[in-house]
Amino acid sequence: MTRIRAHVMCLLMLPLGAVAQSPAAPLQARPAAVKTSTRQRISEGQRVFEQNCSRCHAAPDGFSPRIAGTVARHMRVRASLSEQDHEALRKFLHP
């Protein structure tokens, strides 16, 4: 009986630990200009992807920064992308 009571108490204490570790101050919102700029880069990268890559590849769910850079670099050579399109594609692959 004591073991059961101890297990129940542990299970009841778990949510309290999660609440205690939550951040004390709310996260600061980014300025709207930064969010818009990021969205523009992603949509520009999406346009580049759709024009140059979607014939052979499905849209990705996202890559790590390292993989996104490698993929974009290889596709820049194969698809003859400009430096601007290359950067937009890299941002699209890893926002």
Spatial CB neighbours of 38, under 8 Å, sequence gap ≥ 6? 95
Average pLDDT over residues 79-91: 87
Residue 44 in any domain: the answer is yes
Residue 14 in any domain: the answer is no
Q: How many domains does the chain have?
A: 1
Residue 46 in any domain: the answer is yes
Residue 83 in any domain: the answer is yes
Residue 45 in any domain: the answer is yes
- Residue range 75-84, pLDDT digits in tens: 888 888 899 9
Residue 16 in any domain: the answer is no
Residue 40 in any domain: the answer is yes
Residue 11 in any domain: the answer is no
DSSP string, the chain: -HHHHHHHHHHHHHHHHHHHTS-SSPPPPPPHHHHHHHHHHHHHHHHHHHHHTTTT-PPPS---HHHHHHHHHHHHHHHT--HHHHHHHHHHH--
pTM given for the model: 0.52
- The reported pLDDT for the residue numbered 34 is 47
Share of the chain above pLDDT 90, in %: 2
- The reported pLDDT for the residue numbered 5 is 66
State the residue range of the domain holding 46: 33-95
